[in-house]
Every structure is written in structure tokens, then in C-alpha cells.
């Protein structure tokens, strides 16, 4: 997994040490990795340019402050997480003991929250064209790998990645809620023509231009 973050073995070692220790100085890293402080600085600079490492000043008696290096949130998020498995297990337990109606309530609540967040994020855009391009950019930032095009009198929004794919495959409420979210946000009758949760390679949303 670390090789996906950085292929250099020394930098992989530094990333592992920072992950385990939550913050280390150049001197501490130099002792652990067994290379010179100058060498450590070069590796940290490379990681910093990639947005994987940041540093904070730490006062240590008389003289200039030292610097403590730590992984950024970007780097930390690249380590394996089990959020999808946890979410899926919780939802299954709720369905088992509370019934399908409770699942629908949960997705409705999530949809209302997301709708308000989307409205706030897109408040500076006007018109269907501007709002859709703003939505496309927003989805890209959230990892959906979105594409937007126009075919005749309709827009076609495609997303090539689903951050909650495992949940959506098990619970169709997730897809139903997403269509409802886009419909409410865009004030259009949005339809889902293809869905990754149903085995398609991409999610395709059709949005009337008028």
C-alpha cells in the first residue's frame, strides 16, 4: 500500500515512521533511517512537494525552533481504511432489527443534509448550465471522476467512481436518494440511465436542459 504513496524505499520508511509516531524531527528520522540529516531533508522536501508531509515549528530552549514533520491528511487517507465495511455492517444491523423503513429514513436524512451542502457550495452559480458545471467540478473534488456533456435538449452527467459503491450495491436507497438529490438541486426531472451498483461501468444521469 505504501508503494502507492511513494515508490522510493527510503521515503516509504519515512512515511511508515511518521504514521507510527505522529510527528518526528529530522534528527529523529536520521537516527531511525540511518542516513544523514541532509538526506532526510531532501526526502522530506520531495514528500512535501507531493502534499504528503507538513511541518510545524517547535520551540526547544535557546536558539531557533526545530521542526516536527508529520503526514498530511492526504497521505493518511491513502492508508487502507474499513469505512465502507463498517458502514455496510451497521446498515445491515439496522435493517435486521429496525426494518427497511428505518434504512429509508437514514438515507432521506443524509439526502437532506447533502442537498443543503450542495446548495451552499453552488450558491455562486446561476442557470442550469453554470450550476451543472459547478456540480461537475464539486463531484470531481469528491472523487466521483465526473464528466458533463450535452446531447440535444439534455445534459448527460457521468460519474466513473462511486465512493459508496459497496453500500449502494447492497442498498438501492443510496441510488434513489442521489437521483432525488440532483432533481431537487437542479429543479429538473433527473433520471438515472446507467448505474454502477447494477453492474454498469459508469453512472449516467440524464438532465433536461429546459
- DSSP designation for 210: -
- Parent domain of 156: 83-208
Question: For the chain, what is the radius of gyration of the CA atoms?
Answer: 23
Residue 151 grid cell: 446531447
Q: CATH number, domain at 99?
A: 3.90.1520.10
Residue 165 grid cell: 459503491
Query: Which residue is it, cell 510527528?
Result: 23
Domains identified in the chain, total number: 2
Residue 60 has pLDDT above 70, yes or no: no
Together in a domain, 192 and 88: yes
Together in a domain, 174 and 89: yes
- 191's enclosing H/E stretch is strand 191-194
Read off the pLDDT band of 63 (50, 70, 90). Answer: low
What per-residue confidence (pLDDT) applies to 64? 66
Report the C-alpha gap between 172 and 199 in whole angstroms: 13
Together in a domain, 136 and 166: yes
Together in a domain, 66 and 106: no
Together in a domain, 58 and 105: no
Report the C-alpha gap between 48 and 71 in whole angstroms: 9
In the chain, pLDDT over 70 holds for what percent of residues? 94
Please give the mean pLDDT across all residues of the chain: 91
- DSSP designation for 35: S
Together in a domain, 114 and 24: no
Residue 18 grid cell: 511518521
pLDDT tens-digit readout, 66-106: 899 999 988 887 777 777 888 999 999 999 999 999 999 99
Sheet holding 146-151, edge to edge: 146-151, 154-159, 203-208, 191-194
For 19, the 3-state DSSP assignment is helix
pLDDT tens-digit readout, 3-44: 566 678 999 999 989 988 878 999 999 999 999 999 999 999
What per-residue confidence (pLDDT) applies to 76? 83
- Using the 3D structure, point to which of 45, 77, 109 is the last residue of a domain: 77
Amino acid at each position: 500500500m505504501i508503494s502507492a504513496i511513494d515508490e522510493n524505499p527510503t521515503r516509504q520508511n519515512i512515511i511508515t515512521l511518521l504514521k507510527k509516531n505522529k510527528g518526528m524531527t529530522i534528527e529523529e528520522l536520521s537516527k531511525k533511517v540511518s542516513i544523514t540529516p541532509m538526506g532526510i531533508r531532501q526526502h522530506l522536501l520531495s514528500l512535501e512537494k507531493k502534499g504528503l508531509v507538513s511541518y510545524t515549528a517547535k520551540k526547544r530552549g535557546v536558539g531557533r525552533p526545530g521542526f516536527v514533520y508529520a503526514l498530511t491528511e492526504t497521505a493518511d487517507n491513502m492508508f487502507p481504511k474499513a469505512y465502507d465495511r463498517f458502514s455496510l455492517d451497521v446498515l445491515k444491523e439496522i435493517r435486521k432489527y429496525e426494518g427497511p423503513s428505518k434504512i429509508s429514513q437514514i438515507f432521506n436524512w443524509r439526502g437532506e443534509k447533502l442537498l443543503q451542502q450542495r446548495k451552499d457550495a453552488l450558491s455562486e452559480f446561476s442557470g442550469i448550465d453554470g450550476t451543472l458545471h459547478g456540480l461537475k467540478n464539486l463531484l470531481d473534488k469528491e472523487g466521483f471522476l465526473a464528466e458533463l456533456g450535452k446531447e440535444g435538449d439534455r445534459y448527460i452527467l457521468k460519474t466513473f467512481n462511486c465512493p459508496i459503491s459497496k453500500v449502494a450495491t447492497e442498498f438501492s436507497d443510496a441510488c434513489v436518494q442521489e437521483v432525488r438529490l440532483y432533481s431537487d438541486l437542479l429543479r429538473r426531472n433527473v433520471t438515472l440511465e446507467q448505474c454502477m451498483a447494477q453492474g454498469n461501468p459508469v453512472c449516467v444521469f440524464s438532465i433536461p436542459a429546459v
